[in-house]
Amino acid sequence: MALLIKDNCINCDMCEPECPNEAITYGAVIYEIDPELCTECVGHYEKPTCEKVCPIDCIIIDPKHVETNEELLDKYVLIHHSDKI
């Protein structure tokens, strides 16, 4: 499951530097999460750091990108250890 930043984002700049996968970037209006890079911090932390630092709780599970923990871990391995595969 990738995460999604809702439209009520206030562009506080808290989430982007916290993402270990560099999945968060500033979009046309608000920050956006690239579902191809988001692992919900699986492989890094127990809980997504972007959700922890968001002051208005505008980060949710993206219903269009539902993945199991195993799939998220596989994605983490591909992102961070593809040179060893």
For 29-66, write each residue's pLDDT tens digit: 999 999 999 999 999 999 999 999 999 999 999 999 99
Question: And the tokens for 65?
Answer: 């990108």
Contacts of 45 (CB under 8 A, 6+ apart): 20
Is the distance from CB of 75 to CB of 83 less than 8 angstroms? no
What is the 8-class DSSP label of residue 4? Answer: E
The pTM score is 0.90
Q: Under DSSP, is residue 69 helix (H, G, I), strand (E, B) or coil?
A: helix
Give the per-residue pLDDT at 85.
53
- Whether domain 3-84 has CATH 3.30.70.20: the reply is yes
Percent of the chain that is helix, strand, coil (3-state, to 5)? 30, 15, 60
